[in-house]
Amino acid sequence: MVDRRTDMSANVSPKYYVDENCIACCACVLEAPLLFAIDEDQGIALVVRQPQNEQELSLMQATLELCPVGAIRDDS
Ligand code: SF4
C-alpha cells in the first residue's frame, strides 16, 4: 500500500498538495479541474498544476475551504 504521507511524487510542487486524509470525493476536481485530478491508482486527488495567476490562486483557496476533510494543504 502506498504511504500517502510521503508519496507525493505526482504532485507538481510542494506549495499546494493533497495529504493522506483525502477521501477522493472529487469536490476539488469538479471545482478546479485545471488544478486537480484523481489518481486512480492511489485513490486520492493530486494537485496537477500550481496556481499561475490570481484567478487560479482564488480557485485554489476556494478548494481549500470546500474540501470536507481538510486534505488540501498550503505548504507556503
Ligand atoms: S475535495 Fe478534498 S477529499 Fe475531496 S477529492 Fe479533493 S482533496 Fe480529496
Tell me, using a 6 A CB cutoff, whether residue 34 lines ligand 1: no
Summarised one tens digit per residue, pLDDT across range 38-51 is 999 999 999 999 99
Question: How far apart are the CA of 72 and the centre of ligand 1, in A?
Answer: 7
In the chain, what are the helix, strand and coil shares in percent, each to the nearest 5? 25, 20, 60
Give me the pLDDT at residue 70, please: 97
- Across 38-74, b (16+ Cβ under 10 Å) vs e yields bbeebebbbbbbbbeeeeeeebbeebeeebeeebbbe
* pLDDT confidence band for 12 (50 / 70 / 90): low
Tell me, using a 6 A CB cutoff, whether residue 71 lines ligand 1: yes
pLDDT (mean) for 40-68: 95
Does domain 16-74 sit in CATH 3.40.1160.10?
no
* pLDDT confidence band for 5 (50 / 70 / 90): very low
Question: How far apart are the CA of 2 and the centre of ligand 1, in A?
Answer: 17
Distances (CA, A) of 62 to 5, 7, 41, 42, 67: 23, 25, 26, 24, 9
* Domain spans, the chain: 16-74
